[in-house]
């Protein structure tokens, strides 16, 4: 298979992960990058040995088949629309859009043109999460009945170089990080049927603590503490708490409770980790994830221990799916379902009712183990 030429639009904080990830894959080759900030595109082009172009020149380049959109959430839909209008497939960072209607129009546009939309998060393809999926599918905890999810921290303004977008529509702890958890819950339990939520703004303003914008004040426009319940089509219901107003806590990221046991999942922000299982009240047993791909620790984040970080595997899996003529896993329909769920917490809080989820999807196929599908080459 010849590598597919890709272009990257958005040369900010996350872009190195995609440039580096592409270097490790035989399926893709980054030809060019672009950014509203010309100097950002030039710096990444120099660093990674690709061409810096204007956004329009990149879209006009006939060699480029797929464009990766790594802009801020508020630009996800408009930039992705431009990519589709240029006749190219798009893979973009989460969330699919800052506005649900725009996300629906984007997928409709792609369908009329026969183009693919792939969307992060792809962490659910990781070994820790796939091991949990395999345990549930094998009946190790019996029929899932309930669960608990917690993503609680102080937020992003202390470390990100330009953190304003986190506190504007499309940002906030639910859309920015809760998206990983909801996607993983759908991978484990299937689609969501309805949602109820309670959402509030903990602090009306945030002060940037990182360079180069230290001291700048951001007006918060999205809820920063959200609690709610997801009811799944399979009948399970899961309590979910996300917040950027919390200094410390002692809650696990994901727990699923079934008729025969309990599963302690791993952080959906990364690909690996060691899930644990307790069968019929027995002791917690660590699960061996080594048979599953994308679990070996390969990255040290700014804060903390080494983790498995294979962000971008959703893109390479999409390329393989295109070659084989089958659907891809981190797909637009999954991202749209998840976006509807994320939005529903805030809307439910506003109108005081459970909200049914209209977008129907199937669970993504599990990631094969062994050499099947050459585990995405």
Residues that bind ligand NAD (CB under 6 A): 9-15, 35-37, 40, 55, 70-73, 75, 79, 93-94, 162, 176
> Rounded to an integer, what distance in angstroms lies between the CA atom of residue 322 and that of residue 306?
33
Residue 237 phi, psi (nearest 5): -130, 140
3-state secondary structure of 56: helix
Which residues share a beta bridge with 226?
Answer: 199, 242
Least distance (Å) between residue 37 CB and ligand NAD: 4
Which CB sits closer to ligand NAD, 278 or 298? Answer: 298
Least distance (Å) between residue 165 CB and ligand NAD: 6
Which residues fall within 8 angstroms of residue 225, CB to CB, at 6 or more apart?
Answer: 173, 199, 200, 201, 202, 242, 243, 244, 245, 246
Which CB sits closer to ligand NAD, 50 or 287? Answer: 50
Residue 162 phi, psi (nearest 5): -145, 70
Which CB sits closer to ligand NAD, 36 or 203? Answer: 36
Least distance (Å) between residue 12 CB and ligand NAD: 2
Q: What is the DSSP string of 234-280?
A: TS-EEEEEEESS-S-----SEEEEESSEEEE---TTSS----EEEET
Sign of CA dihedral 313, 237, 177, 248: negative
Tokens 């009948």 found at: 235
Which residues share a beta bridge with 256?
Answer: 147, 263
Which CB sits closer to ligand NAD, 76 or 133? Answer: 76
| Joined tokens for residue 251 | 């809650």
Which CB sits closer to ligand NAD, 144 or 171? Answer: 171
Which CB sits closer to ligand NAD, 119 or 189? Answer: 119
Least distance (Å) between residue 223 CB and ligand NAD: 17
> Rounded to an integer, what distance in angstroms lies between the CA atom of residue 164 and that of residue 314?
27
Least distance (Å) between residue 111 CB and ligand NAD: 23
Least distance (Å) between residue 291 CB and ligand NAD: 27
């Amino acid at each position: 298979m010849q590598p597919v030429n890709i272009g990257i639009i958005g040369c900010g904080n996350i872009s190195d992960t995609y440039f580096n990830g592409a270097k490790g894959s035989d399926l893709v080759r980054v030809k060019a990058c672009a950014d509203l900030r010309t100097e950002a595109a030039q710096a990444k082009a120099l660093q990674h040995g690709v061409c810096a172009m204007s956004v329009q020149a990149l879209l006009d380049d006939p060699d480029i088949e797929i464009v990766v959109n790594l802009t801020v959430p508020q630009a996800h839909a408009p930039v992705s629309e431009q990519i589709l209008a240029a006749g190219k497939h798009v893979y973009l960072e989460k969330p699919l859009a800052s506005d649900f209607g725009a996300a629906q129009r984007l997928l409709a546009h792609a369908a009329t043109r026969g183009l693919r939309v792939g969307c992060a998060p792809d962490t659910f393809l990781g070994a820790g999460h796939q091991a949990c999926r395999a345990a549930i599918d094998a009946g190790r905890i019996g029929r899932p009945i309930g669960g608990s999810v917690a993503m609680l921290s102080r937020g992003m303004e202390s470390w990100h170089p330009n953190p304003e977008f986190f506190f504007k529509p499309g940002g906030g702890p639910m859309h920015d990080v809760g998206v990983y958890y909801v996607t993983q819950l759908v991978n484990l339990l299937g689609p969501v049927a309805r949602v109820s939520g309670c959402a509030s703004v903990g602090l009306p303003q945030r002060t940037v603590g990182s360079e180069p914008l230290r001291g700048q004040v951001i007006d918060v426009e999205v809820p920063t503490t959200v609690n709610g319940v997801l009811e799944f089509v399979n009948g399970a219901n899961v309590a979910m708490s996300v917040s950027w107003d919390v200094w410390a806590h002692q809650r696990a990221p994901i727990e699923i409770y079934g008729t025969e046991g309990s599963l302690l999942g791993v952080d959906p922000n990364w690909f690996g980790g060691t899930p644990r299982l307790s069968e019929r009240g027995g002791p917690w047993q660590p699960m061996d994830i080594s048979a599953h791909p994308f679990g070996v620790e390969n990255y040290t984040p700014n804060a903390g221990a080494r983790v498995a970080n294979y962000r971008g595997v959703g893109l390479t899996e999409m390329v393989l799916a295109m070659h084989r003529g089958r659907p891809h896993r981190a797909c637009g329909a999954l991202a749209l379902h998840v976006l509807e769920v994320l939005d529903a917490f805030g809307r439910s809080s506003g109108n005081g009712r459970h909200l049914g989820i209209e977008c129907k999807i199937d669970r993504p196929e599990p990631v094969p183990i062994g050499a099947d599908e050459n585990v995405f080459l």
